[in-house]
């Protein structure tokens, strides 16, 4: 059997799985996005009413802007925290045993459900919660802070808590591949710690940073349950818009919004991939 044919046969099972569980559902969503709907029925059609309604509604632009705001702020905070944690594990912890132990410690929150970890912030941030009680007892504030919970602050806090590890792992993997001889050579050449960080470590970590960015960006842009719980249903993102349409059985409208979200995510990922070749990390 020719080698090329053997390669096709070996790739066929995975290709079929991807086609059945990834490509086919996306195609179905695109098809349904052109269908029509009334208050009591959905009918197959090929019309642009759903997209026309989305592009003409100011709510769409507000919700997408809110989604991008959450995504950017969460990305910036997870990058800062993730890079710091990864740097500490890779360069400050000297033994492999402690690196593994501390890395596993970072994964402990993932032993529980995302929803449980998320709603655990509610009694902590509430008006009568632990945070306000502590600040009042210390005399830092005179009355409870209302913006700690059911606000953009609580939403972003939950996002950072849930998704920071997705930034830590790829950056840590990149840092562990850095030859320490390069750092020693830079230090022998008179480079300061700041110069080594920004001119040696950060450039070599770009693939890991980009992979973490893609993870965090796609997860935040597609999330809806976090925004719903942590904002007290007072804020909205694209995921919540889709969820609301589905709860009202408006599947064509939800599909059209999902297609727009998918296109937005693909554009963002495409721009990111033009900046760094992540194949070096794979």
Mean pLDDT of the chain: 88
Please check whether residue 176 is in contact with residue 221, taking contact to mean a CB–CB distance below 8 angstroms.
Answer: no
Task: Give the SS3 label for residue 197.
Answer: helix
Task: Give the pLDDT score at 1.
Answer: 57
Task: Give the pLDDT score at 160.
Answer: 94
Give the residue numbers spanning the domain of 123: 54-280
Please state the rounded mean pLDDT for residues 184-198.
87
Under the banding of pLDDT at 50, 70 and 90, the label for residue 278 is low
Domain-located, residue 59:
yes
Task: Give the predicted TM-score (pTM) of the model.
Answer: 0.88
Taking alpha carbons only, the member of 242, 246, 243, 274 closest to residue 261 is 242
Domain-located, residue 34:
no
Domain-located, residue 68:
yes
204: domain CATH number is 1.10.3720.10
Under the banding of pLDDT at 50, 70 and 90, the label for residue 280 is low
Task: Give the pLDDT score at 27.
Answer: 94
What total number of domains does the chain contain? Answer: 1
Question: In this structure, is the dihedral angle defined by the CA atoms of residues 141, 143, 147 and 148, taken in order, positive or negative?
Answer: positive
Question: In this structure, is the dihedral angle defined by the CA atoms of residues 270, 275, 280 and 282, taken in order, positive or negative?
Answer: negative
Domain-located, residue 18:
no
49-60: pLDDT as tens digits: 999 999 999 999
Domain-located, residue 2:
no
Domain-located, residue 168:
yes
H/E stretch holding 43 reads strand 42-43
Under the banding of pLDDT at 50, 70 and 90, the label for residue 4 is confident
Domain-located, residue 164:
yes
pLDDT surpasses 60 at 100 = yes
Domain-located, residue 29:
no
Task: List the beta bridge partners of residue 242.
Answer: none
236-257: pLDDT as tens digits: 889 888 988 888 888 999 999 9
Task: Give the pLDDT score at 88.
Answer: 92
CA distance 261 to 60: 11
Please check whether residue 223 is in contact with residue 184, taking contact to mean a CB–CB distance below 8 angstroms.
Answer: no
Under the banding of pLDDT at 50, 70 and 90, the label for residue 32 is very high
């Amino acid at each position: 059997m020719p080698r090329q044919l053997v390669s096709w046969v070996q790739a066929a099972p995975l290709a079929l799985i991807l086609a059945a569980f990834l490509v086919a559902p996306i195609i179905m969503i695109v098809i349904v996005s052109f269908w029509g709907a009334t208050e009591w029925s959905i009918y197959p059609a090929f019309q642009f009413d759903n997209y026309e309604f989305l592009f003409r509604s100011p709510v769409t632009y507000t919700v997408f802007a809110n989604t991008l705001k959450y995504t950017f702020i969460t990305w910036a905070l997870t990058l800062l925290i993730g890079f710091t944690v990864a740097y500490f594990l890779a360069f400050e912890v000297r033994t492999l045993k402690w690196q593994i132990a501390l890395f596993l410690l970072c994964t402990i929150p993932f032993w529980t459900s995302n929803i449980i970890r998320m709603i655990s912030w509610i009694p902590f941030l509430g008006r009568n919660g632990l945070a306000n009680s502590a600040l009042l007892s210390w005399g830092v504030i005179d009355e409870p802070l209302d913006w700690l919970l059911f606000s953009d602050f609580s939403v972003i806090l939950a996002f950072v808590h849930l998704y920071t590890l997705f930034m830590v792992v790829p950056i840590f993997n990149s840092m562990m591949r850095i030859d320490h001889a390069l750092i020693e050579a830079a230090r022998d050449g008179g480079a300061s710690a700041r110069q080594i960080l920004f001119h040696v470590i950060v450039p070599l970590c770009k693939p890991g940073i980009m992979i973490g960015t893609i993870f965090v960006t796609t997860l935040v842009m597609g999330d809806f349950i976090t925004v719903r719980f942590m904002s007290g249903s007072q804020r909205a993102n694209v995921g919540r818009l889709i969820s609301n349409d589905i709860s009202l059985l408006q599947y064509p409208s939800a599909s059209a919004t999902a297609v727009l979200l998918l296109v937005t995510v693909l554009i963002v990922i495409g721009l990111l991939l033009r900046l760094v070749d992540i194949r070096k990390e794979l």
